[in-house]
Amino acid sequence: MKKLFFTPIIIFIAFFNLAQAQDSTKKATQPQARTQTAAPQNTDRSLNGQYRYLLTKTYNYQQPVIGAFYRNVMDTIKTERAALRKAQATVNSQAATIKKLNVDVTIKDETISASNAKMDQINLLGIGFTKAAYNTLMWGLVLGFGIALAIVIITTTRFRHEAKYRIKLYNELSEEFQTYKTKANEKEKKLARELQTERNKLDELSGR
């Protein structure tokens, strides 16, 4: 903005120096009276103040040109200021749009995060688990049940072998007992026959 104000002033000063140079060549043929013989010290640093001060340093025939140039500069400044205000309004509008978009993005990110958290949540017996924790729990239960099943199978197999062994022993003992019983019956019968034979002999001897 400072450059926008100081550039016309520099142009005015350059134009003023050029006008003084041209006036020195035309002074002998076209003498002109100054509007003011003694100009006051310039204390106004604004563009209008610089213009008024410049008029005190120029001849009458130069002032219309300077006035036209000043009006062109002011028109340019007005145009630039209008463009600047329009650009500033556009920037402000875009900044408001960007702020709104950032808010919308933040809300959408929060919604997506909440949706992802909800999708990642699994309820088991009223207890919430993440999918990772749920998978860990399920695989842990599967592994635990697998180990328990292996232990049951191994134990059952051992018990079956033990039962078969006991049954085999029982069968062997039963066979031995049956064999012993058969032999005992045969021995008993043999002893009974021998006893009967001895009785018969004794009766025969008694009868004589």
Q: 179: Cβ–Cβ under 8 A, 6 or more apart, which residues?
A: none
Cα(172)–Cα(33) distance, rounded to whole angstroms? 157
Q: Could you tell me if 58 and 19 are in contact, meaning their C-beta atoms sit under 8 angstroms apart?
A: yes
- Condensed to tens digits (0 to 9), the pLDDT of residues 136-179 reads 878 888 999 999 999 999 988 888 888 888 898 888 888 888 88
Q: Could you tell me if 80 and 4 are in contact, meaning their C-beta atoms sit under 8 angstroms apart?
A: yes
Residue 43 is given by DSSP the state -
pLDDT computed for residue 208 by the predictor: 54
Q: Which two tokens stand for residue 196?
A: 């009967």
Average pLDDT along the chain: 76
Cα(97)–Cα(91) distance, rounded to whole angstroms? 10
| Domain ranges within the chain, ordered by starting residue | 2-110, 122-208
pTM of full prediction above 0.85: no
Tokens 């003498």 sit on residue = 31
Q: Which two tokens stand for residue 180?
A: 């012993």
Counting residues of the chain whose pLDDT is more than 90, the rounded percentage is 14
Cα(77)–Cα(14) distance, rounded to whole angstroms? 19
Cα(38)–Cα(48) distance, rounded to whole angstroms? 20
Section 11-34 average pLDDT: 50
Tokens 């021995």 sit on residue = 187
pLDDT computed for residue 29 by the predictor: 44
